[in-house]
Amino acid sequence: MKLTSSLVPLLIWILQCVAAGLAWPSGASRNRTGREVTCREGLEYPHAGICCLNCPAGTYVKHSCSRASERGICETCDFGSYTEHENGLHKCLPCSSCRSDQDLVGQCTSTQNTQCQCMKGLFCLPEQACEVCKTCSKCAEDEEVEKSCTASSNTVCRKKKGSARSSIAGPITAVVLSLMILLLMVILYWKAPTWSKRAVDSCCPGGILMKKSGSDSVETRQNGLNSALEDSVPLQPFIVPSSSQSENEKLRRLIPLNGEESLKKSFDLFEEIDVHYHNRFFRLLGLSDNAITSAESLSVEERVYQLLRVWMEKEGMKADFNTLVEVLLRLNQRLSAENIITRAISNAYYAYEDE
């Protein structure tokens, strides 16, 4: 009797295990997929459903680990290749060569790529992808150099002292001289003998200096001269301000409808981005070249998804869908940004904050 009562809990436990096994959905895999494996960024890389420790800088993964949180076999980079950081790459990155508009400032080593900079007279801003060096600007005639052009910054100019005054001195001087000449002509006319005035009146009928009747005052005559002077100077049109909106117009913010899940689900929408802009897009998001290169072997869809996952883990609580849209607009990919926003709203991932 005691033996039977002790077997009852054991039988119940066995039946529960069997029921749990039968309840597993048909065709479902119990192994985690590559997307479900979350490794520590900068420390580990995924392999066969587990996370292996990265190889040191200057080496690459020759053979991956067989057990989680262990390091596989690492091999030193050959000459002409490198890895700058700890990595999970299966081959080293090839050393790059300086372009024709760049000078060599540092040779490639196993832990550092070739160091190049724009040639003298050219520059490239550090926050931009330096695909081509730009020509340094030259200051205008009324400007002087405040900061000279360098390989990473353009020329900075400032107005010369007194240049504003000298720019308006010419027109003012011309107007003053014209008024003085007219005033002198008026004085000479009224002080001249009567026969001289008649000669002027007879030779210049309809001119500015016409003889008036005795009832006309000096003030009336002067007003006529001023009117003639104003009519001789063409009027300057008003400067019509541009009605175009600013390029930095404030964007309408979107808010997630399902918290962090909305952001994860929206990653597939970014397959819309032109592949030629992928590297610049992820660089602007703050991902390292190693992280970007390590995903090159994946398909376009998997590559975008994986790198956005790395970005989200890197940013943590600061990861925001609006940031991804703003980066697309910085790259002038407005059509892609609008398509992604439309699909994110239609799929009920996001909604406008002001609605």
SS3 track for 244-276: CCCCCCCCCCEEECCCHHHHHHHHHHHHHCCHH
Structure tokens at 233: 């100077």
Residue 123's DSSP bridge partners are: 134
Centroid of chain to Cα 62: 38
Q: What is the structure's pLDDT at 234?
A: 43
Structure tokens at 58: 């200057």
Mean pLDDT, residues 215-227: 49
Which residues in 312-322 are b (16+ Cβ under 10 Å) and which e?
bebeeeebbbe
Return the domain boundaries, the chain: 29-115, 120-159, 162-204, 254-352
Read off the pLDDT of residues 130-164 as tens digits, 9 standing for 90 and up. Answer: 888 999 999 998 999 999 999 999 999 999 987 55
Is beta strand 93-94 parallel, antiparallel or unpaired with respect to 44-47? unpaired
Dihedral, CA of residue 150, residue 111, residue 299 and residue 283, to nearest 10: -30
Superfamily name and number for 29-115: Tumor Necrosis Factor Receptor, subunit A, domain 2 (2.10.50.10)
Helix (H, G, I), strand (E, B) or coil at 76: strand
- pLDDT category at 128 given cuts 50, 70, 90 is confident
Instruction: Answer whether residue 83 shows pLDDT above 80.
Output: yes
Contact 137, 149 (CB under 8 A): yes
Instruction: Answer whether residue 40 shows pLDDT above 70.
Output: yes
Mean pLDDT, residues 268-284: 91
Read off the pLDDT of residues 196-207 as tens digits, 9 standing for 90 and up. Answer: 455 445 444 444
Instruction: Answer whether residue 316 shows pLDDT above 70.
Output: yes
CATH number of 254-352: 1.10.533.10
The residue whose two tokens read 């801003």 is 125
How far apart, in whole angstroms, are the C-alpha atoms of residue 342 and residue 346?
Answer: 6
Read off the pLDDT of residues 319-336 as tens digits, 9 standing for 90 and up. Answer: 999 999 999 999 999 999
Instruction: Answer whether residue 192 shows pLDDT above 50.
Output: yes
107: left (phi over 0), alpha (psi -120 to 50) or beta: beta
- pLDDT category at 31 given cuts 50, 70, 90 is very low
Q: What is the structure's pLDDT at 235?
A: 38
Instruction: Answer whether residue 67 shows pLDDT above 90.
Output: yes
Same fold, 29-115 and 254-352: no
Centroid of chain to Cα 137: 21
- pLDDT category at 231 given cuts 50, 70, 90 is very low
Structure tokens at 14: 């066995």
Of residues 24 and 90, the one with the higher pLDDT is: 90
**CA nearest 281: which of 329, 319, 344, 320?**
329
Mean pLDDT, residues 23-32: 42
Percent of the chain with pLDDT over 90: 50
Q: What is the structure's pLDDT at 227?
A: 47
Averaged pLDDT score across all residues of the chain: 79
Of residues 214 and 140, the one with the higher pLDDT is: 140
Mean pLDDT, residues 225-243: 41
